Structure 1
Amino acid sequence: MNLTADVIVPIALVTVSYALCLGISRLYRKLFPHLRYLPGPKNPQLLYGNFIEIADDDNASIHEKWAEKYGPTYRLNGLMKTNILVTQDPKAVHHILRYSEEVYHKPDATRATIGQLIGNGVLVVEGEEHKMQRKVMNPAFGPVQVRALTEIFVDKSLELRDYWMREIQKSSKREVIVGAGLSKMALDVIGRAGFNYDFQALSEGTNSELSRTFAVLFGTFKRTIFDIVRIQLAGFLKLPGNPVVRDARSQMERIGNELLRDAKKAAQSSKKQDGMGKSRDLLSLLVKSNLDTNLPEHQRMSDEDVAAQIPTFFIAGHETINSSATAAIYVLTQHKNIQTKLRQELLAVGTDSPSMDELNALPYLNAFVREVLRLYAPFTFIARAAVKDDVMPLKEPIVDVNGKIHTELHIKKGQLIQIPILSMNKDKKLWGEDALEFKPERADTEPEATREIPGVWSHLLTFIGGPRACIGWRFSLIEMKAILFTLVRAFEFDLAVPKEDITFKRPLMVPLSRPIAKSRLPDRQLPVILTPVNRDN
């Protein structure tokens, strides 16, 4: 046993991190004393603060309970008693998202952690650098480009259907693990649609170097707070990080550079032949946009920045659809009447391979997807930090613990802020008293107040809004519609465990939620029973 490496170093890291956190906490409370007078829950734990309650929340509804008790704007206790401002006030949220380039960035700790894993892609960079990357990347995510990718979404959905059909034929239980199949499909989709790489995960293809590398990076991305603190501390103190993660990151950079080199060659070759390329994967489209002669040289992305988008595509494209589609299937098991009505609409379509326009023309499918993304948004909250002093307007005034009324908040540089996406999507003040009910027909009778939600899509905060809105929201929507179109036509869905066994708990400090069976922990999966649909009846 290596005593130094195995015992002394971990103890030293914990000790130093505790001391640093304690010092930061004391400094933070001196810098932001005004927030201590805002209403909010008590601090249940010195180290983790109210994050303990968020992690222990079975139904991902803790922010709703706090908002009901303290109002739309309140204070939370973060790590080591730091004050976190939480708001779902529409006026305040609009202000934060509108000025996300100038004032409200992702916290440095979050950016440092993600950046060490996937590089400085569009998820990590801020300010002018983010603006430049978005400008180059936006053309790859437009409606025309997503329309061209729809065939991939449908083809891979059909492969998932066939994969599950083979799975249920192996056992009389007819049980499948939803997340396992969806994960394979999402990997195949992002490979083909992202950079024209075929993982063949659904056809039990080879365990490629790229898929193994991604598994390491993504596994690290979802770790708990101790791992996050250790990664951040290692970078702060210039200590060696996890060698497995370091090697995986190095391999991802090498593979990314190879994929980028091939994409650039293909783009240049196509340009010589007919002036435009035939490839429609995101990386090829990004390369073409970056090589556009109308783009000034100083606005072009470096090869390093372009390559950094590859793991970014992985993280964003994989987990969002996995969580959303898992939630959709869970909803189908709980609302058989909705499942039947949806299936009737889908079976009336005379093809197994619909176009994007055909998917968008299905009213009940669109209403169902919207309601899933409202009530089961994959990311339950987002975090921001003010990079300069600001004044935040409020729609609903705050009465602090001393009885003082605030119609605006003076935000100091460094202030941490949390926007509870899921809670705002369920706010009864915006959606009405039936806000917690799953009602696809809600889209036909939507309250006027929901128009105040500053989301990029359909008056929801699911894909955020403003300059940092999810760049791939069209991609995610059509992929989810393709999945549901294919699977609901093929199977009837039932839970394989009692409803009481389902929880929406997530790893500590990870704002990602999906339905999972408590009896299947630590796998964090949802088991369902599939019954093939008899189309002859």
Structure 2
Amino acid sequence: MPFMALSLLLQLSVLGGVLWALRSVYIHFIVRSPLDNLPGPPSKSWLLGSLPQLFNRYAWDSHKEIFHKYGAVSVVRGMFGQRMLYVFDPKALHNIIVKDQYIYEETPVFLNFNRLFFGNGLLASLGEQHRRQRKILNPVFNINHMRYMTPIFYRITHKLRDAIAKQVDEGNEEIDMLNWMTRTALELVGQGGLGWSFDSLEKPELNTLAEYLKAFVPTVSPLFLLMRFMPFFVRFGSPSLRRRLLEMIPLKRIRDCIEISDVLDRTSHEILRAKRAALEAGDQAVSAQIGEGKDIMSILLRAQMSATEEEKMPDDELLGHMSTFVFAAMETTSGALAHLLHLLSEHQDIQDKLRQEITTARDGRDNIPYDELVSLPYMEAVCRESLRVHSPLATINRTTTQDIVMPLSSPIRGRDGSMITEVPLPKGTDVMVGLLGSNVNPAVWGEDAEVFNPERFLSPLPDSVTDAHVPGVYSNLMTFLGGGRACIGFKFSQLEMKVVLSVLLENYRFELPKNKEIYWNFGGVQYPTVGRVDDKSQLPLRVSLLKSG
């Protein structure tokens, strides 16, 4: 594009942004709203509101202040005074996630970000397109498919066990377990999801793709405020022009994000070409591949061959699903596993009890079969409690597509002293859904709601939990969401966690590092660092061998 046209486009973009800002100031500071009567923290800035406090790596205290001081429904201020609802009231969540889920849609920021970086997969679609995609994908995430995946998961985890043993034998006092969880989760989704091997797990160093993916969340999290302008950015010009505009922004983080996206996109194209070539060569070639043709992508591609033109999924969606699976499955599962190993290092008694249950269940066999593994009560309790107290995602955002009234489980007191039982929400209201807030809500889980205590799941749950009807797809928790946008791979993730734990805990003891603080950073997905200053995501733990692998 000629320089003059590009310059004019940038000027128009700036003018559009200024007009939007002036309109926002008028609407949010001058025009009255029913949300003005709700409790909430004071705005920190007329320009950015409370967003810098709620979306930075140290944001935990700001979120916990909302939990404890303002309750399950509050209002916070966004850019130019925008009113944003912060919600973890159970009845309100049911309406947002299930009953009125097509009125509370994903925000343009979320959709455009995922479309730019991961393509047209599940995380970038809405409405009928999203429902069609899930209908096609749901069958490959059923329990029968998980049973088939179990031996594959064990083979990968045994390689992990042997790789860690080598590091222990070499005298490593501390081992970065986030490194190994990242690589293992990537290989699990690679072989089980795509029929592709990313990592032999034979070397201690990260491979290129794992290194890039591990760096993505720490790289992109500080860009949250900049991403608020993304809905305006994606309306201008072609994808190639938008890329050129991004490359012109003098921020290293932007360039790093583009590079990560490019690596992931090239990998997805390479896998798709190889899978299609095998299918065209016949059943023998498919069976010779990793996954033996029963991986998620091979099943999808076979379904494509017999589908009508209307039912077929276009290549941009297939590629988007692949990139989304690789990143989302790796990032959330590796983080959840790392956090659980950290918790077990802090609670040696729980680690010992879980190890004993695993040893008893295995009973001298090579592996614990699927149905027995998923039924281990203490294993299930430990996984549930870790995912409850340390949900990888603390919040998600929705925006209302029309005016709607949101009911509440319990009345709240407004700023004027009146009792509020429902909240009218104007069209375009941004809603922060408190996943972690729901998971540690003392009105539901009791006064020890923020305490890691797996024993709570070994007895009947209190009436306050069952009566709340939290709309999560998993165990009264919001960790995997619910409704039509619930995490499609949550059974896949649970199986990964249990297989890895069943192998590692019988072979190793995990303990906290000496003289190092592990800090879990708030981000799109939580990630650990040594201390609060270091930018490198890592989880060093002391690992000792219990017996030979």
TM-score grouping bracket, smaller chain normalisation:
0.7 to 0.9
2:251 corresponds in structure 1 to none
- The equivalent of 1:492 in structure 2 is 509
Q: 2:217·2:524 contact (CA, 8 Å) conserved in 1?
A: no
Alignment CA distance shift 1:273-1:178 (3 Å): closer
Letter in 2 for 1:393: P
Partner SS state of residue 44, structure 2: coil
Any idea what SS the aligned residue of 1:464 has? coil
- Report the Cα offset of residue 36 of structure 1: 2.2
Code of the aligned partner of 1:418: M
> Structure 1 residue 204: deviation in Å?
3.3
1:465 aligns with 482
Distance (whole Å) between structure 2 residues aligned to residue 448 and residue 213 of structure 1:
45
Amino acid at match of 1:308: G
What is the 5 A alignment of 1:62-461? 62-99=62-99, 101-171=101-171, 174-200=173-199, 202-204=201-203, 221-225=220-224, 228-229=227-228, 234-238=233-237, 239=242, 240-243=244-247, 244=255, 249=261, 252-253=264-265, 255-267=267-279, 278-293=292-307, 297-348=309-360, 349=362, 350-443=364-457, 444-451=459-466, 452-461=469-478
CA distance in 2, matches of 1:103, 1:113: 21
Give me the identity figure in percent.
28
Q: In structure 1, what is the equivalent of residue 250 of structure 2?
A: none
Bigger drift between 239-248 and 156-165 goes to 239-248
Native 8 Å contact 1:46 1:79 kept in 2: yes
The answer on whether the counterparts of 1:218 and 1:315 sit within 8 Å (CA) in structure 2 is no
Q: 2:229 & 2:444 partners in 1: Cα distance? A: 40
Change over 3 Å in CA distance of 1:353–1:17 after alignment to 2: farther
- Indicate yes or no: 2:497 matched with 1:480: yes
Q: How far has the Cα of 1:441 moved from its partner?
A: 1.8
Query: Partner of 1:530 in structure 2?
Result: 543
Shift in alpha-carbon separation, 1:208–1:424, aligned structure 2, 3 A:
closer
Deviations 1:340-375 (A, max 9, x none): 111111122123433321311321111111111111
The whole-number CA distance in structure 1 between the counterparts of 2:401 and 2:394 is 23
CA contact (8 A) 2:56 2:221 kept: no
- Measured after TM superposition, the shift of residue 308 of structure 1 is 1.2
2: CA distance between counterparts of 1:196 and 1:147? 16
Q: For residue 160 of structure 1, report the CA deviation from its aligned partner.
A: 1.8
Q: 1:345 to 1:14 in 2, by over 3 A?
A: farther
SS in structure 1 at match of 2:410: strand
Distance 2:168 2:15 in 1: 52
C-alpha RMSD of the superposition: 3.4
Q: Greater shift after overlay, 251-260 or 153-162? A: 251-260
CA distance in 2, matches of 1:24, 1:217: 34
Give the TM-score of the pair, scaled to structure 2.
Answer: 0.85
**Structure 1 stretch 156-165 or stretch 303-312: which is displaced more?**
156-165
How many angstroms apart in 1 are the aligned matches of 2:104 and 2:380? 32
Q: 1:25-36 counterparts in 2 under 5 A? A: 25-29=24-28, 33-36=33-36
SS of residue paired to 1:298: coil
What count of residue pairs does the alignment treat as equivalent?
Answer: 521
Are the equivalent residues in 1 in contact too, given 2:480–2:487 (CA < 8 A)? yes
Maintained 8 Å contact 2:34/2:425 = no
Judged with a 3 Å threshold, the aligned counterparts in structure 2 of structure 1 residues 157 and 432 are, in CA distance, closer, same or farther, namely same
Partner-residue secondary structure (3-state), 2:526: coil
Shift of 1:69: 1.7
Conserved? CA contact 1:187–1:201, under 8 Å: no
Q: Distance in 2 between matches of 1:417 and 1:175?
A: 42
Q: CA deviation at 1:54?
A: 2.9
What whole-Å deviation, never above 9, does each CA across 1:438-474 have from its counterpart, x for those lacking one? 2212112311222311110111111000010000000
Q: Is the 8 A contact 2:55 2:224 kept in 1?
A: no
State the one-letter code of the partner of 1:511. Answer: G
2:393 is paired with a residue of what secondary structure?
A: coil
CA distances 1:5-51 after superposition (whole Å, capped 9, x unpaired): xxx99x99998797467335315516772212211001123444323
Task: Specify the code of the residue in structure 1 equivalent to 2:201.
Answer: L
**2:525 is aligned with 1:512:** yes
Unaligned stretches of 5+ in structure 2? 248-254
CA distance in 2, matches of 1:201, 1:387: 47
**In structure 2, do the counterparts of structure 1 residues 254 and 70 end up closer, same or farther at CA, with 3 Å as the change threshold?**
closer
Deviates more, 1:518-527 or 1:85-94: 518-527
Partner of 1:528, secondary structure, is strand
Of 299-308 and 513-522, deviating more is: 513-522
